[in-house]
Structure 1
């Protein structure tokens, strides 16, 4: 009889452990279900979204206010159209701005919202007018290397001109 009671408690403990690990995995992967009843959507268009992904955080002053729910390419203007799902307790004005930021040097990308000064708030489905695209590290390095090579080429031309008879 004692053996079956111990087996029962071990089974309960293992089941609680599996449920806890599953919950933790969903939390870390940002896959926890959110209720849509207290959210609204805004649209932001960017020239370059870098490594932004669906379910990326949307933050304002470092506070999580929503998530990226959809990313599409606008084939008429060739810009990335990002749909943001925000908690309805956070309202943003018509002149709010959105920019793609990176957590740390090589961390995940997220959208940062900055409140504007307009008294009228954006409604669900409206577009954020002021946006700033992602800074792509590879492009910055490429520009630096190109300007560095051009600078060396010009200084080399100047040195050759001075030594010519």
Structure 2
């Protein structure tokens, strides 16, 4: 009888440990268990260096969505970024999508500056106005080579 109790306690302990490990995997890995709600928008950038899938989309410092995909548009030869916007958030067609850095060396995110148009973006629409990431390496290179001449 005592060995059955010990085995039961060990089994429950192992089960709780596995559930905790699974929970941490889902939370820390940003795994989405259910299909995300909201709608998809696209933006084209000349450079999205450092931007990763899952990065936040912010407006006025508030997260309103996440980057769902980053790929190269072969016809425009620009980075095509797809992101999910939370339901209930309406963005006007003249809004500006900018790639920004959180802090000095922080991770990249997309900041949305609202526009003033009455026409709202719908599912699968693309932003007309974008600002790419500031490439510090090319700025330093220009500064160094400019001073050598």
Pairwise same-fold verdict (TM > 0.5): yes
Which residue of the partner structure matches residue 161 of structure 1? none
Of structures 1 and 2, the larger Rg is shown by 1
Shift of 1:81: 1.0
Give the corresponding residue for 1:159.
none
Q: Does 1:49 align with 2:48?
A: yes
Aligned partners of 1:148, 1:8: CA distance in 2, in Å?
Answer: 75
Which structure shows the bigger proportion of residues in helix conformation?
1
| 2:13 is aligned with 1:8 | no
Q: Distance in 1 between matches of 2:138 and 2:33?
A: 36
Written as runs of structure 1 = structure 2, the 5 A alignment for 1:75-86 is 75-86=74-85
Report the Cα distance in structure 2 between the residues aligned to 1:4 and 1:33, rounded to whole angstroms: 36
Q: Are 1:70 and 2:69 an aligned pair?
A: yes
Length, aligned pairs only: 149
Q: Which residue of 2 aligns with 1:157?
A: none
SS of equivalent residue, structure 2 residue 99? strand
Match of 1:115 in 2: 114
Q: Deviations over 1:12-41 (max 9, x none)?
A: 2332222223222322222233434x3101
Task: Tell me by how many angstroms 1:79 deviates.
Answer: 0.9
Task: Kindly state the Cα deviation for residue 98 of structure 1 after the two structures are TM-superposed.
Answer: 0.5
RMSD (CA atoms): 1.8
CA distance in 1, matches of 2:136, 2:28: 26
Shift of 1:127: 0.9
Counterparts of 1:120 and 1:9 in 2: how far apart (Å)?
A: 62
- How far apart are residue 3 of structure 1 and its match? 4.1
Q: Residue 129 of structure 1 aligns with which residue?
A: 128
Structure-2 residue corresponding to 1:104: 103
Query: What TM-score do you get using the length of structure 2 for normalisation?
Result: 0.87
Structure 1 unaligned residues grouped into runs of 5+: 151-165
Where 2:91 maps in the other structure, the secondary structure is coil
Deviation at 1:50, TM superposition (A): 0.6
1:135, distance to aligned residue in structure 2 (A): 1.3
What is aligned with 2:58? 59
SS in 1 for 2:48: coil
